């Protein structure tokens, strides 16, 4: 029994290593000095150093990683919160009143199937005409559109799962639509809000193409900024620095996912109606 | 508190006519119970009154005011749902206070009213819990509490006791009756439990397939059912219906040689109803009907017999338990005409 268990864990460990190899390799490389990167390809560190990270945070005269992080944070927050605010009332109307269920809902959901970059040129022109080019809000707005379909889909489902009697009870209790939505439906959608926020934030944070296209100096997000580090010395790629910058860039969404994970799952309607 | 009047109300879902032209007046302060078999439209009728369904035709008047087109929040009723429908994210206290907060009642008054409702329903020690942490009976009391903190024009209850165990059901029934007395409120109560209906109601409305079969006090309905449906719906075991006719001024039961004097107005007789407790067991030769006992259930206060009569099929009878009448005994059943309920061919009461 015990040997059996040990074997099982060894297999799991092996699989985890193989599947996460690129991530682990990057993580390890981030701690190798410039000399070691060229000589030692193994995962075993000979002389672990924080030199790369210090470089990443200090060559801020040209490449300001704090600005990139801030830009990504603002854009990803706008891009994940705005669609929730917009989609919530729409999702209620679709779920409860059936508005747009036949055409609009499938249409919006299928936006996800389109490579959004086909809108690149008109979008660029609209952005430059409206002054949204190279702004954090502008980037956030386009991320909001990227996130809208999934948000809407999750919220439509979440509202559909709230027993209708709860809304009916609220209406009999004298609540008009706004109060019913805010006091009864909204709180019960909290798990769905957390889920859509986490997914939306991660999607927004990791988005690259629009970041590349719609920003130049002021609002460059972390993903685009990270690529600048690859050739920061002008000559060949500094792999250690590149790896360190990727670790820094990957950390915020990773932490968010870990912190919010327990809140994503689980339903809120326990005890509402009898089974 | 208010009088509720329903005039020619109809409701269909697509092609299905669920409520068919119902007219009914529920006086102010009345405890009115809707009973009927499952699917007959009780909940639908209640939801129409609450405004949760829109009427296909007809009117609903509360205190003389036509509310047919009004939203539920403008009708000032309170309702206890068949499924409780508690707000799961709110504590018991917040659940009960929700309607008062909605009406912008001052906080001091809310606290006072919530405390009072909690005292009546014995919920004081659960006020800070969420519904998920309550038992079925406690949830149900919260649902009632949510309704009674307000001063609505009427209370609507949709089978509020249907999921409770027997003891809790009996207790809560008493609580609701007491509540009705102390609030003197108009209440409409849906159930398909006839004990609840009989014990609680001032007035029972028997529904079947979206139509009213009879309206009356429990006593009226039990003693003078207007038709075979009501006769068999109320009372346990259900009323025996025996084919019969009137010949030469006497009632003749199918297959029985006995003749009973026919009261006036029984001319169109097609069948008679006979309650189990109105039968007396006699020697076979003295009975109006004779038969063999197929089943004998001892109930303590009496025994319930199922008697197979050659003439009219199986008849339920309820008698004193002083003689053990096991299966296979041959007995006679006697009853007088004034215990019989006369029905015509359509099943409508004759006199
Ligand atoms: N929204 C709806 N759409 C279509 N049919 C419906 C709808 N609501 C109810 N019905 C039908 O109307 C009929 C009456 O339903 P209702 O819920 O009023 O019955 P009930 O008397 O309350 O039954 P129960 O005792 O089982 O609760 C049923 O046949 C049901 O299928
Ligand atoms: Mg029902």
Q: Are B189 and B172 found together in one domain?
A: yes
The CATH architecture assigned to A65-268 reads Orthogonal Bundle (1.10)
Task: Give the Cα separation of B12 and B177 in Å (integer).
Answer: 33
Q: Are B211 and B278 found together in one domain?
A: no
pTM over 0.90: no
Q: Which residue of B has its CA nearest to A168?
A: B52
Task: Give the Cα separation of B77 and B326 in Å (integer).
Answer: 54
Q: Are B112 and B203 found together in one domain?
A: yes
pLDDT for res A234: 60
How sure is the predictor about A232, in pLDDT bands with cuts at 50, 70 and 90?
low
pLDDT tens profile B102-125: 999 999 999 999 999 998 888 999
Ligand 1 pocket test, candidate residues B12, B42, B80, most atoms within 8 A of CB: B42
Q: What is the CATH number of the domain that holds B179?
A: 3.40.50.300
Provide the domain limits for residue B107. Answer: 4-233
The arithmetic mean of pLDDT across residues B273-282, rounded, is 92
How sure is the predictor about A233, in pLDDT bands with cuts at 50, 70 and 90?
low
Q: Are B109 and B256 found together in one domain?
A: no
- Is the CB of B113 within 6 Å of ligand 1? no
Tell me which of A85-89, A133-137, B119-123, B151-155 is least confident.
Answer: B119-123
Q: Are B145 and B116 found together in one domain?
A: yes
Does residue B281 fall inside a structural domain? Answer: yes
The arithmetic mean of pLDDT across residues A243-268, rounded, is 84
The arithmetic mean of pLDDT across residues A30-46, rounded, is 83
For A86, other C-beta atoms within 10 Å of its C-beta total: 15
* Structural domain boundaries in chain A: 2-49, 65-268
- Is the CB of B191 within 6 Å of ligand 1? no
The arithmetic mean of pLDDT across residues B278-290, rounded, is 88
Q: Are B223 and B305 found together in one domain?
A: no
Q: Hey, whose CA ends up nearest to atom 20 of ligand 1?
A: B39
Does residue B348 fall inside a structural domain? Answer: no
Q: Are B206 and B255 found together in one domain?
A: no
Closest residue by Cα to residue B54 from B10, B20, B22 = B10
CB B307 within 8 A of CB B284: no
How sure is the predictor about A109, in pLDDT bands with cuts at 50, 70 and 90?
confident
Closest residue by Cα to residue A75 from A190, A222, A199 = A222
pLDDT tens profile B151-191: 899 999 999 887 777 887 888 888 889 889 888 889 999 99
Whole-number Å distance, alpha carbon B18 to ligand 1 midpoint, is 7
Does residue B32 fall inside a structural domain? Answer: yes
CB B53 within 8 A of CB B212: no
CB pairs under 8 A between A and B: 89
> Which of B171, B201, B233 corresponds to the end of one domain?
B233
pLDDT tens profile B218-227: 999 999 999 9
Mutate to test the interface with B, among A96, A97, A169 (most CBs of B within 10 A): A169
- CB < 8 Å & 24+ apart, contacts of A74-77: A74/A136, A74/A137, A74/A140, A75/A136, A75/A139, A75/A140, A75/A143, A75/A204, A75/A211, A75/A219, A75/A221, A76/A140, A76/A143, A76/A200, A76/A201, A76/A204, A76/A205, A77/A140, A77/A201, A77/A204
Please name the residues in contact with B161: beta carbons below 8 A apart, sequence gap of 6 or more: B140, B168, B169, B172, B173, B191, B193, B196
pLDDT tens profile A142-169: 999 999 999 999 999 999 999 999 999 9
Does residue B350 fall inside a structural domain? Answer: no
Closest residue by Cα to residue B239 from B111, B112, B343, B163 = B343
pLDDT tens profile B310-349: 777 899 999 887 777 888 889 999 998 889 999 999 999 9
Q: What is the CATH number of the domain that holds B289?
A: 2.40.50.140
Q: What is the mean pLDDT of chain B?
A: 91
pLDDT tens profile B59-76: 999 999 999 999 999 999
Closest ligand 1 atom to residue B45 Cα is: 18
Closest ligand 1 atom to residue B210 Cα is: 14
pLDDT for res B100: 96
How sure is the predictor about B16, in pLDDT bands with cuts at 50, 70 and 90?
very high
Q: Are B204 and B244 found together in one domain?
A: no
- Is the CB of B19 within 6 Å of ligand 1? no
Q: Is A162 on the interface with B (CB under 8 A)?
A: no
- Is the CB of B83 within 6 Å of ligand 1? no
Q: Give contacts of B76 with chain A, Cβ < 8 Å.
A: 174
Q: Are B152 and B80 found together in one domain?
A: yes
B47 burial class (0-12, 13-18, 19+ CB within 10 angstroms)? buried
Residues that place a CB less than 5 A from ion ligand 2: B 43
| A174:B102 CB<8 A | yes
The arithmetic mean of pLDDT across residues B180-203, rounded, is 90
Q: Which residues of B267-287 are buried (b: 16+ CB within 10 A; e: fewer)?
A: eebbbbbbbbebbbbeeeeeb
Task: Give the Cα separation of B90 and B130 in Å (integer).
Answer: 6
Q: Which residue of A has its CA nearest to B137?
A: A274
Q: Give contacts of B136 with chain A, Cβ < 8 Å.
A: 274
pLDDT exceeds cutoff 90 at A275: no
Q: Position of tokens 């309702």?
A: B79
Q: Total structural domains in chain B?
A: 2
Among B98, B136, B139, the residue with its CB nearest the CB of A173 is B98
Q: Is B73 on the interface with A (CB under 8 A)?
A: yes
How sure is the predictor about A267, in pLDDT bands with cuts at 50, 70 and 90?
low
Q: What percentage of chain B has pLDDT greater than the value 70? A: 99
Task: Give the Cα separation of B330 and B328 in Å (integer).
Answer: 6
pLDDT for res A266: 62
Q: Are B46 and B138 found together in one domain?
A: yes
How sure is the predictor about A54, in pLDDT bands with cuts at 50, 70 and 90?
confident
- Is the CB of B41 within 6 Å of ligand 1? yes
Task: Give the Cα separation of B216 and A14 in Å (integer).
Answer: 78
Does residue B184 fall inside a structural domain? Answer: yes
Q: Are B176 and B145 found together in one domain?
A: yes
> Which of B233, B264, B286 corresponds to the end of one domain?
B233
Does residue B210 fall inside a structural domain? Answer: yes
Cis before B5 (ω within 30): no
pLDDT for res A174: 94
> Which of B213, B233, B253 corresponds to the end of one domain?
B233
Residue A46: phi and psi, rounded to 5, are: -85, -50
pLDDT for res A260: 85
pLDDT for res A40: 80
- Is the CB of B291 within 6 Å of ligand 1? no
Q: What is the mean pLDDT of chain A?
A: 88
Q: What percentage of chain A has pLDDT greater than the value 90? A: 54
Q: Are B107 and B133 found together in one domain?
A: yes
Task: Give the Cα separation of A178 and B289 in Å (integer).
Answer: 69
Higher pLDDT, B272 or A62: B272
For A106, other C-beta atoms within 10 Å of its C-beta total: 10
For B218, other C-beta atoms within 10 Å of its C-beta total: 18
Does residue B321 fall inside a structural domain? Answer: yes
Please name the residues in contact with B155: beta carbons below 8 A apart, sequence gap of 6 or more: B77, B78, B79, B80, B147, B148, B185, B186, B187, B188
């Amino acid at each position: 029994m015990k040997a059996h268990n040990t074997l099982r864990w060894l297999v799991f460990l092996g699989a985890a290593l193989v599947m996460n190899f690129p991530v682990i390799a990057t993580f390890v490389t981030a701690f190798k000095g410039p000399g070691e990167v060229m000589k030692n390809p193994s995962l075993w560190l000979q002389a672990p150093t924080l030199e790369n990270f210090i470089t990443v945070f200090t060559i801020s005269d040209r490449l300001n990683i704090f600005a990139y992080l801030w830009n990504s944070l603002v854009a990803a927050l706008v891009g994940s919160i705005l669609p929730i605010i917009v989609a919530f009332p729409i999702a209620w109307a679709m779920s409860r009143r059936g508005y747009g269920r036949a055409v609009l809902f499938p249409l919006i959901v299928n936006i996800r199937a389109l490579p959004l970059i086909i809108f690149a040129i008109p979008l660029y022109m609209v952005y430059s005409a409206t002054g949204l080019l190279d702004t954090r809000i502008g980037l956030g707005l386009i991320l909001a559109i990227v996130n809208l379909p999934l948000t809407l889909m999750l919220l439509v489902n979440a509202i559909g799962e709230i027993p209708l009697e709860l809304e009916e009870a609220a209406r009999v209790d004298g609540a008009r639509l706004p109060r019913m939505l805010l006091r009864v439906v909204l709180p019960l959608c909290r798990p769905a809000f957390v889920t859509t926020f986490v997914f939306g934030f991660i999607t927004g944070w990791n988005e690259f193409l629009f970041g590349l296209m719609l920003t130049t100096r002021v609002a460059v997000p972390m993903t685009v900024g990270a690529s600048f580090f690859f050739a920061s010395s002008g000559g060949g790629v500094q792999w250690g620095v590149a790896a360190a910058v990727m670790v820094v860039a990957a950390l915020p969404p990773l932490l968010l996912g870990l912190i919010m994970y327990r809140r994503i799952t689980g339903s809120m309607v326990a005890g509402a109606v009898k089974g | 508190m208010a009088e509720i009047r329903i005039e020619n109300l109809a409701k269909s879902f697509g092609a299905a006519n669920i409520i068919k032209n119902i007219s009914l007046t529920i006086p102010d302060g009345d405890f009115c119970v809707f009973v009927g078999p499952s699917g007959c439209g009780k909940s639908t009728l209640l939801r129409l009154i609450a405004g949760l369904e829109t009427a296909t035709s007809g009117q609903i008047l509360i205190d003389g005011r036509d509310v047919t087109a009004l939203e539920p929040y403008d009708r000032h009723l309170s309702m206890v749902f068949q499924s409780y429908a508690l707000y799961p994210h709110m504590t018991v206290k917040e659940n009960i206070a929700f309607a008062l907060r909605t009406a912008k009642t001052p906080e001091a008054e809310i606290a006072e009213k919530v405390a009072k409702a909690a005292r009546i329903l014995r919920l004081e020690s659960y006020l800070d819990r969420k519904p998920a942490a309550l038992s079925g009976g406690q949830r149900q009391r919260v649902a009632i509490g949510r309704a009674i903190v307000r001063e609505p024009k009427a209370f609507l209850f949709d089978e509020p006791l249907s999921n409770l165990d027997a003891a809790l059901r009996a207790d809560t029934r008493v609580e609701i009756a007491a509540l009705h007395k102390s609030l003197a409120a108009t209440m409409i109560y849906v159930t398909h439990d006839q004990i609840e209906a009989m014990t609680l109601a001032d007035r029972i409305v028997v529904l079947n397939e979206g139509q009213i079969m009879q309206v009356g006090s429990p006593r009226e309905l039990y003693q003078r059912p207007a038709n075979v449906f009501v006769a068999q719906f109320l009372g346990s075991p259900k009323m025996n219906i025996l084919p019969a006719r009137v010949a030469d001024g006497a009632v003749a039961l199918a297959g029985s040689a006995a003749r009973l004097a026919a009261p006036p107005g029984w001319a169109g007789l097609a069948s008679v109803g006979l309650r189990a407790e109105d039968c007396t067991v006699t020697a076979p030769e003295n009975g109006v009907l004779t038969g063999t006992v197929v089943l004998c259930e001892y109930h303590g206060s009496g025994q319930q017999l199922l008697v197979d009569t050659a003439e009219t099929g199986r008849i339920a009878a309820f008698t004193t338990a002083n003689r053990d009448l096991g299966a296979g005994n041959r007995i006679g059943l006697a009853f007088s005409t004034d215990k019989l309920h006369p029905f015509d061919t359509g099943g409508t009461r004759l006199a």
